[in-house]
Amino acid sequence: MTTRRQLDPAEIAVIGHALHSVAVEMGAALRRTAFSPNIKERRDYSSAVFSSAGDLIAMGDDMPVHLGSMPMSVAAVLADLRLESGDVALLNDPYRGGTHLPDITMVAPVFLRGRKEAAFYVANRAHHADVGGMYPGSMGPCREIAQEGIRIPPVKLMRSGKMDMQLLATILANVRTPREREGDLTAQLGACRIGATRMLELVERFSLARLTAGINALISGSESLVQNVLASLPAGEWSAGDVLDDDGVIPSPINIRVKISIDPKRRRAVVDFAGSDPQVPGSINAVYAITWSAVFYVFRCLLPPDAIATAGLMRPIKVLAPEGSIVNARPPAAVAGGNVETSQRIVDTLMRALAPALPGRIPAASSGTMNNLTIGGIDPRSRLPYTYYETIAGGHGASPQSDGASGHHAHMTNSLNTPVEALEYAYPFRMIRYAIRHDSGGAGKHRGGNGLIREVELLGDAQVTLLADRRSTAPWGLAGGGAGKTGNTSITVNGDEQELPGKCTRELKAGTSIRIESPSGGAWGKDKV
């Protein structure tokens, strides 16, 4: 049998890039065939490939908040279900490895001819613009997860190649836009089929033995890369804290605390979130999968840019998060904002803690929010329900080497803004302004990136929901650099402008405009005299 020793580094690299290409092609297929602008235009999806044991072996260049947590969803599927040839599992439960309810994950096995056990698994996750619940878009200020939408444990959507029509009907009966949801779910199924086909082709190309040996080498290589990073760090404990503005219910800041203990001799680290605040009534609670995902992302950022991330990356790192806290919530806590807002603040806190240990590498804080805007109602053009979801980019934090980028999504999100033409075609909106928020980045040796200004006018009555942060706590600078500007949201009705809180929902009339000014990045270093 071929062993790892018989594979040279070049062949291991070829296998690694071949596996990566499978995940990338899955994402491209999903994007091309999806119905919703949120997936087709904003690219709010992720794809990955897993071993027969459920270990991550390749991922697309997608959403960090999806990718770090997806292995836990795959593990939940494998714990609950026995997947046969032609089966596809479906789930969105945040307490089973998910992120929040709009993110629906599909997992499909890959069987080789004549074998009874799956050789691999392929999976993808996509943010659906509505999964029911109290508010259009399923991202409102809820108090418990039952209010946020339909919650799906690991179930089989496909059995032996045939759709479970009763399950599909149940899901579609609980959402506001069933045709769009069915189209996006079908696109996810197609992406899984593409992934499975490509994995079979790789087995034919390399042989199962050589492919397996390459995968084992890649996982070991990821582990070694992280161990080498840890060995290069100074020994000690590095602590930091940061806050979320509020939870949309109680008007007081919410603390996140972290202590990172580095043992360079043993090449291990412990990341401990003890001291973080308890879970809250509002929807910004993060499940453990989110916190794990944020740690995965931050340590992945310390690797070489061309490093292939696998399950080995987190093997030298232990993540402790107190159960019942803002970073490891218990049911029935509402969690829609934990995925999009608390994940960003966890990253900010981790970066702040690592800055003294890596003073030449850690950037200042980026915008620190996904500026979630959700709008739903009846489209006056078609008289049919619609739901629109957008995350609005902000400024990147400056680094020790350069200014921060302006108008870019940062850290746990890697999506795009909906193009103006696509937005006005799909929804009853008119774009009033879409521009860089000039001179908003923090001042310093290297300036923080500028945020964005995005203003839309409603052409029909609608319910508008905002889930955003960094409205009262500014993105911090490093090494004496200034903070970036906080964000702001306002509505204008008949010429009267009114500021909105960061987390709220409003029933608005046609003709109302909504203006979001996203936060900017912090600066690095003091201004030159």
- Band (pLDDT 50/70/90 cuts) for residue 305 is confident
Do 259 and 153 touch, CB atoms closer than 8 A? Answer: no
> Are the C-beta atoms of residues 320 and 271 closer than 8 Å to each other?
yes
Q: Is residue 300 part of a domain?
A: no
In this prediction, residue 528 carries a pLDDT of 66
pLDDT over 60 (residue 45): yes
* Model confidence pLDDT, tens digit, residues 437-475: 999 999 999 999 999 999 999 999 999 999 999 999 999
- In sequence order, what are the beta bridge partners of 260? 238, 271
Is the predicted pLDDT of residue 529 greater than 90, yes or no?
Answer: no
Q: What is the pLDDT of residues 330-373, one digit of tens each?
A: 999 999 999 999 999 999 999 999 999 999 899 999 999 999 99
Would 277 be classed as within a structural domain?
A: no
First to last CA, the chain: 67
Percent of the chain with pLDDT over 90: 95
**Which single residue is written with the structure tokens 């439960």?**
93
Tokens of 504: 């709220």
Q: Of 168, 51, 83, 64, which is closest to residue 125 (Cα–Cα)?
A: 64
Residue by residue, what is the 3-state secondary structure of 181-239?
HHHHHHHHHHHHHHHHHHHHHHHHHHCHHHHHHHHHHHHHHHHHHHHHHHHHCCCEEEE
Tally of domains in the chain: 2
Average pLDDT, integer, range 488-514: 97
- Residue 228 domain-assigned (yes or no): no
Of 220, 246, 268, which closes a domain? 220
Q: Is 410 domain-assigned?
A: yes
Q: Write out pLDDT tens, residues 277-292.
A: 999 999 999 999 999 9
What's the per-residue H, E or C state across 133-188?
Answer: CCCCCCCCCCCCHHHCCCCCCCEEEEECCEECHHHHHHHHCCCCCHHHHHHHHHHH
Q: Collapse the DSSP code of 377 into the 3-class scheme (helix H, G, I; strand E, B; otherwise coil) and give the result.
A: strand
Phi, psi of 85 (to 5 degrees): -60, 130
Residue 183 corresponds to which tokens in the numbers above?
Answer: 């189209």
**Residue 4 predicted with pLDDT over 90:** no
pLDDT, tens only, 401-440: 999 999 999 999 989 999 999 999 999 999 999 999 999 9
Domain boundary residue, one of 170, 190, 220 = 220
Considering the domain boundaries, does residue 471 fall inside one? yes
Tell me the pLDDT band of 144, cut-offs 50, 70 and 90.
Answer: very high
Total residues belonging to the chain: 529
Query: What is the Cα–Cα distance from 291 to 294, expressed in whole angstroms?
Result: 5
Domain end position, chosen among 198, 220, 242: 220
On average, the pLDDT of the chain sits at 96
In a domain, 249, yes or no: no
- Res 1 pLDDT > 50: no
Asked whether residue 349 is domain-assigned, the answer is no
> CB-based burial of residue 310 (10 Å sphere; 0-12 exposed, 13-18 middle, 19+ buried)?
buried
Q: How far is it, in rounded angstroms, from Cα 122 to Cα 369?
A: 30
Asked if residue 68 belongs to a domain, the reply is yes
Give the residue among 213, 261, 187 at the shortest CA–CA distance from 8: 213
Range of the domain at 136: 4-220
